[in-house]
Amino acid sequence: MSTLEQPQSDAPDIDESEIAAYLQSNPDFFERHTSVLAKLRLPHTPGGSTVSLVERQVAMLRQDNIKLERKLRDLLDVARGNDQLAGKIHRLALLLMRADGPVEVVATLEEQLRLSFKADRAMLVLFREPDGLDSSRFLRVIGREADELAPFRTFLESGNARCGRIRDAQRRFLFGDGDVEIGSAALLPLGDGAQTGFLAVGSRDVDHFHPGKSIDFLARLGELVTCALED
């Protein structure tokens, strides 16, 4: 008994990646072959009706446009936030310039961080005690090599501003175990290599001071406070 053989196709195997590459390098292909374009139909949704290639392209362009609009809104929000922050830092600079002595400098800084910058908690850590100032809830004077500062050693050695969630040991040193749960914080070195101390600003929001946040304005705030304390 003879067996039936499948007929051999004379059509060559087609590499779809080559077709895709050709269409990408020849975007005017369908302009030159409008009859092919008119016959193309693509599924709109699984099991649904079909739409033309042009309709599909329009739909994709709309989706891309929505994404671009969303990115633009995000960029505008960031720009507005930066503009507002710049204004707050400018006003703080004016107030600190008018302050008479370290006592007024520290009092002004504490008030503005709370009222203007909306800090949930803040702590100014200095490695030397300014004249007329004692440690308080906002100000803590401590030696730079003190054991209590061990959780901040990497930050102090880097001398760079940092943002993000803070470790429990850092949070307890800065903010204690009060009724405000700090989710994130900014640490701002004061002086070259944090030789003067550092400023910590805490927020309940875990994402308020996220690691990807721009630290340019925060670094300027640290420089401003350093100059005010050293005058």
Greatest mean pLDDT among 28-42, 145-159, 199-213: 145-159
- Determine the pLDDT at residue 52: 61
% of the chain exceeding 70 in pLDDT? 81
The Cα 98–Cα 105 span in angstroms is 9
Q: Please, how many CA atoms are within 13 Å of residue 227, restricted to the half-sphere of its CB?
A: 13
Higher-pLDDT residue of 149, 39: 149
**Helical pair 53-98 and 216-230, crossing angle rounded to 10 deg:** 0
Which alpha helices (H) appear in 26-134, and where do they start and end?
29-32, 34-39, 53-98, 102-115
Dig out the tokens for 14 from the structure: 């087609």
- Determine the pLDDT at residue 210: 79
Domain 99-230: state its class: alpha beta
Under the banding of pLDDT at 50, 70 and 90, the label for residue 1 is very low
Furthest CA-CA distance within the chain: 113
Under the banding of pLDDT at 50, 70 and 90, the label for residue 38 is low
- Determine the pLDDT at residue 81: 76
Cβ atoms 45, 39 nearer than 8 A? no
The Cα 93–Cα 108 span in angstroms is 10
- Determine the pLDDT at residue 48: 54
Q: What is the pLDDT of residues 100-149, one digit of tens each?
A: 888 899 999 999 999 988 889 999 999 987 766 766 789 999 999 999 99
| DSSP symbol at 142 | -
Higher-pLDDT residue of 46, 222: 222
Under the banding of pLDDT at 50, 70 and 90, the label for residue 6 is very low
The yes-or-no verdict on residue 3 having pLDDT over 60 is no
The Cα 99–Cα 113 span in angstroms is 15
Under the banding of pLDDT at 50, 70 and 90, the label for residue 53 is low
Under the banding of pLDDT at 50, 70 and 90, the label for residue 2 is very low
The Cα 119–Cα 122 span in angstroms is 7
The Cα 38–Cα 17 span in angstroms is 23
Cβ atoms 197, 121 nearer than 8 A? no
Higher-pLDDT residue of 35, 200: 200
- Determine the pLDDT at residue 51: 58
Q: What is the pLDDT of residues 201-222, one digit of tens each?
A: 999 988 888 776 667 888 889 9
- How many CB atoms are closer than 10 A to CB 170? 19
Q: Can you give the residue ranges of every domain in the chain? A: 99-230
